[in-house]
């Protein structure tokens, strides 16, 4: 799988894709139009059935989350600004070199951060699995609040299948997408 954050160039391999032969047609389900990421459960796995001709674009759609709902305002997937981050006790970060509250995904054994928009391109047809979480330590999740919501747009063969219908799968002909610059 290839992921391309819209604001930065990174090479990432984060999804496990099960070969098509291992999945029956009855098991195949459509990619949802939204996902929700909770800040109080640690790593959360997401599974989608995809084809190797699709790209999934994830776009932040609000509202926000906090590493301490009583003390700090909610933030988006980029996490807290440097001034706020420096005021939060630093002993509870999952990834010490990233801001508190930033959205993270797991690639192999390494956690990396994501921004407000990123694109995933699976390497093969099958079940794609990836994991997301807030940058806050496992022992410090109980005071977190809020959630992040991401809209998912499926891009296939130069067409987009959200079309304003909530991701129900209708293809919108003629909407072209840029395909250059996808990182491998």
The pLDDT, as a whole number, for residue 157 is 60
Walking along the chain (184 residues) 10 residues at a time, the average pLDDT comes out as 40 36 55 94 91 92 97 98 97 96 90 94 85 97 98 75 39 26 25
pLDDT at 161: 52
69: left (phi over 0), alpha (psi -120 to 50) or beta: alpha
Beta bridge partners of 104: 113, 133
What are the boundaries of each domain within the chain? 2-24+32-153
DSSP 83: H
The domain made up of 2-24+32-153 is a member of CATH 2.60.120.430: yes
Q: What is the DSSP track for 86-132?
A: HHS-GGG-SSTTS-TTBEEEEETTEEEEE-SEEEEE-SSSEEEEEEE
159 near 171, Cβ under 8 Å? Answer: yes
pLDDT at 42: 95
Longest dimension (CA), the chain: 52
Burial 48-87 (b: 16+ CB within 10 A, else e): bbbeeebbbbbebeeebbbbbeeebebbbbbbbeeebbee
Does pTM top 0.85 for this prediction?
no
pLDDT the model gives residue 24? 53
Separation of alpha carbons 61 and 72, rounded Å: 20
Owner of token pair 């776009």: 59
| The predicted structure's pLDDT at residue 89 | 95
């Amino acid at each position: 799988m290839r992921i391309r954050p819209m604001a930065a160039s990174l090479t990432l391999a984060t999804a496990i894709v099960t070969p098509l032969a291992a999945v029956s047609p009855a098991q195949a389900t459509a990619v949802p139009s939204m996902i929700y990421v909770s800040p109080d459960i640690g790593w959360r796995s997401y599974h989608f059935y995809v084809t190797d001709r699709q790209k999934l674009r994830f776009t932040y759609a609000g509202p926000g989350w906090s590493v301490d709902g009583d003390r700090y305002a909610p933030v988006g997937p980029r996490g807290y600004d440097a001034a706020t981050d420096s005021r939060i006790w630093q002993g509870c970060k999952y990834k010490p070199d990233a801001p508190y509250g930033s959205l993270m995904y797991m690639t192999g054994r390494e956690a990396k951060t994501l921004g407000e928009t990123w694109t995933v391109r699976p390497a093969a047809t099958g079940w794609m699995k990836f994991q997301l979480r807030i940058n806050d330590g496992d022992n410090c999740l109980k005071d977190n609040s809020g959630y992040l919501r991401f809209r998912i747009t499926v891009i296939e063969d130069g067409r987009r299948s959200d079309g304003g219908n909530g991701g129900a799968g209708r293809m919108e002909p003629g909407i072209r997408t840029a395909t250059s610059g996808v990182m491998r």
